[in-house]
Chains A and B, each alone.
Chain A
Amino acid sequence: EAQVTQNPRYLITVTGKKLTVTCSQNMNHEYMSWYRQDPGLGLRQIYYSMNVEVTDKGDVPEGYKVSRKEKRNFPLILESPSPNQTSLYFCASSLYGNGYTFGSGTRLTVV
């Protein structure tokens, strides 16, 4: 089944403790992206990647890192999480930008 898989689904952590949210797609899509969803703000792009080893900042990149060493994986790294990064996170992938498949989401709480 074609899908984008995110892990974990739920995560509670403490301020400053590094964490990684994994994202993997099995559709050979060249484009991958991370979004965060906050009430009243819709989804905002954090980082995106056009292909392996090609990443760039989205609209809200502060406090986040990404890497794209393989086509299928696009992990989101929070080196020192803070409470304002408490949010619902979605990974998405796309072929040529004409259709996007989203993961099931990761609900992160930073206390």
Chain B
Amino acid sequence: AQSVAQPEDQVNVAEGNPLTVKCTYSVSGNPYLFWYVQYPNRGLQFLLKYITGDNLVKGSYGFEAEFNKSQTSFHLKKPSALVSDSALYFCAVRDIGLRSGNTGKLIFGQGTTLQVKP
């Protein structure tokens, strides 16, 4: 079964420092991977995705993610954190399982709260 794991419930970082939010996945084929951000009382906003191509994917708000096939990871990164980056971050993989065919379902990790302190 396809799955996503975000091993950290919360990540704390000082403003201006680099940040990493971790994500590992398990899929049966080639993964379609996504990162979403959720600000308080808001919906999910798309940050970036990996379908194919370069392992380093650049997204919105200065975020990037590195796809590592051997480690089955897709960590979210930003070189210099801002207080306004504080939010809940979700990693997701698209379900392309043989059992269900191409359902288009996104399977989410449990989320990681990022706290950036001034």
Residues in chain A within 8 A of chain B (CB atoms): 31, 33, 35, 40-45, 48, 50, 56, 58, 90, 92, 94, 96-105
Q: Is the interface of A mostly helix, strand, loop or mixed?
A: strand
Question: In whole angstroms, what is the CA distance A100 to B32 when docked?
Answer: 12
Question: In whole angstroms, what is the CA distance A97 to B111 when docked?
Answer: 21
B105 and A33 contact, CB distance less than 8 A: yes
Query: What is the count of residue pairs linking A and B with beta-carbon distances less than 8 angstroms?
Result: 58
User: Interface size bucket, B side?
Assistant: 20 to 34
Q: Does B110 contact A (CB under 8 A)?
A: yes
| CB within 8 Å of A: which B9-62 residues | 9, 32, 34, 36, 42-46, 49, 51
B94 and A97 contact, CB distance less than 8 A: yes
Question: In whole angstroms, what is the CA distance A75 to B42 when docked?
Answer: 20
Q: Which residues of A contact B32 (CB under 8 A)?
A: 97-98
Q: Which residue of A lies closest to B103 (CB)?
A: A48
Question: In whole angstroms, what is the CA distance A33 to B109 when docked?
Answer: 17
Q: Which residues of B contact A45 (CB under 8 A)?
A: 105-106
Q: Which residues of B contact A90 (CB under 8 A)?
A: 43-44
Digit string of B85-118 for contact with A (CB within 8 Å is 1, else 0)? 0000010101000000011111011110000000
- Given A43-B90, A90-B44, do A100 and B110 touch, yes or no (CB 8 Å)? no
B2 CB → nearest A CB, Å: 12
Question: In whole angstroms, what is the CA distance A99 to B59 when docked?
Answer: 13
A100 and B105 contact, CB distance less than 8 A: no
Q: Which residues of A contact B94 (CB under 8 A)?
A: 97
With A48-B104, A102-B36 already in contact, 18 other A-B pairs whose C-beta atoms are closer than 8 Å:
A33-B106, A42-B4, A42-B90, A42-B108, A42-B111, A43-B44, A43-B90, A43-B108, A45-B106, A48-B103, A48-B105, A50-B104, A58-B105, A90-B43, A94-B104, A98-B32, A102-B43, A105-B42
